[in-house]
Amino acid sequence: MIRRNRLAILILGLGITPQFGLAEVQAQDFYQGKTIRVIVATTPGGGFDAYSRMLTRHMGKYIPGHPTFVVENMPGAAFLIGTNFLYRQAKPDGLTLGNWIGTLVLHQVMGRAGIEFDARRFEYIGAPVKNHDTCVMSRASGIDSAQKWMNSPTPVKMGATPPGSTPFDNAAVLKDALGLPMQIVSGYKGTAEIRLAVDSGEVAGLCGLAWASTKVTWRKQLESGDVKVVLQNTAAAHPELPDVPLAISLAKNDAGRKLIQLALHDVGAITYLYSFPPGTPKDRVQIFRRAFQATLKDADFVAEAKKGNFELDPVAGEELEKIVNGFFKADPATVNRLRELLK
């Protein structure tokens, strides 16, 4: 009787339907006093880290039992160390959530060495934003437009993290599909380090940085004109970048357009994803999916995002699951070409 009364009160208090009532009660019993560990598979200071820290400041209020959150950065091998850890070592108990990069799904399809996971088995929670990918150049580089870049008599140095990460992969795809004169300087641990390299003149710029992240982490340089977006690697122009050309419109041929579609456009929808390890109880997955969506609509969260100039264009966990599975049905010729470019 006591448990029935508690259940009825919780259902009314949370505004949930009876079929989810028992799961919510069980979740409250489980999550009460617990800490959720969020593994961000890259360095502090970049877009992934910034979104994760903002989300975790608000998400606890939408999970029964109101657990606390702690963000832990686990960089290395272009997101691979943290992602492999999530798949192979993290307990599937709903207490370890991973924030990793969707590019790795494509790399699994291509058979990249070092991948110790099957992306189809993760339990996807959601993504806060679709990746509106850009290429950014410093004023000191002298490259202030895509056309000037294409006409450069010498290769332009572009900073990148190792193969398997967005900065390297996107630069390599664009170099091939557009015929851009480019020297990819990889080995940086994260985009925060690349930004410092651009600011110091060590490299001219970088590709593979979302506009949502660019305008937050490079706000002062954009306002002063010290950096400029010269290329958009998406299917449609961003409203804030109406005069910046789309990469696909500059592709040399149909093969190049297919490369851009698969490696840049399709990956963009799953770039900033969050998932639990395989085997996480389904009721806890559903609770987090609902909490994730509720957080993205939370007034305080939205106000913080707006103040920090963060974009919000969420993808639900169910949709992420469908997109991930779709990568395993990609055109074999395009996958083979990518394999050659990114090996």
CATH number assigned to the domain comprising residue 97: 3.40.190.150
On whether both 66 and 186 belong to a single domain, the answer is no
The rounded distance, in Å, linking the Cα atoms of 320 and 288 is 14
Same domain for 262 and 276, yes or no, is: no
SS3 (DSSP) at 235 = coil
In a domain, 14, yes or no: no
Distance CA 339, CA 342 (A): 5
- Give Cβ neighbours of residue 292 (< 8 Å, ≥ 6 apart): 55, 59, 125, 126, 274, 314, 317
β pairing state of 133-138 and 205-210: antiparallel
Least confident of 59-63, 89-93, 158-162: 158-162
Q: Say if residue 182 is in the same domain as residue 101.
A: no
- pLDDT band of 12, cuts 50, 70, 90: very low
Say if residue 257 is in the same domain as residue 332: no
- What's the pLDDT at 38? 98
- Is the same domain home to 38 and 71? yes
Same domain for 81 and 94? yes
Do 286 and 315 belong together in one domain? yes
Same domain, 112 and 155: no
Compute the distance between CA of residue 248 and CA of residue 235 in angstroms, rounded to an integer. Answer: 8
Which residue segment(s) compose the domain that 90 sits in? 32-130+269-342
Question: Of the residues 267, 300, 323, which one is the last residue of a structural domain?
Answer: 267
Q: What is the pLDDT of residues 284-323, one digit of tens each?
A: 999 999 999 999 999 999 999 999 888 899 999 999 999 9
* Count of all residues that appear for the chain in the document: 343
What CATH number should be reported for the domain holding residue 244? Answer: 3.40.190.10
DSSP element (H, E) containing 236: none
Cα-based distances in Å from 81 to 107, 118, 131, 168: 14, 14, 22, 17
Interval 230-266: pLDDT, tens: 999 998 999 999 999 999 999 999 999 999 999 999 8
Is there a single domain that holds both residue 149 and residue 66?
no
pLDDT bucket at 335, cuts 50 / 70 / 90: very high
Asked if the structure places residue 24 within a domain, the reply is: no
Is the whole model's pTM more than 0.75, yes or no? Answer: yes
Number of domains the chain contains: 2
pLDDT exceeds 80 at position 56: yes
Q: Are residues 85 and 169 both part of a single domain?
A: no
Residues 319 and 171 in one domain: no
Q: Is residue 9 part of a domain?
A: no
Establish if 22 belongs to a structural domain: no
> Residue 4 — pLDDT band, cuts 50, 70, 90?
very low
Residue 158 confidence (pLDDT): 98
Tell me the CA distances in angstroms from 107 to 160, 175, 288, 299, 338, one per residue in order. Answer: 17, 18, 27, 37, 9
Domain boundary among 246, 267, 288: 267
Same domain, 240 and 294: no
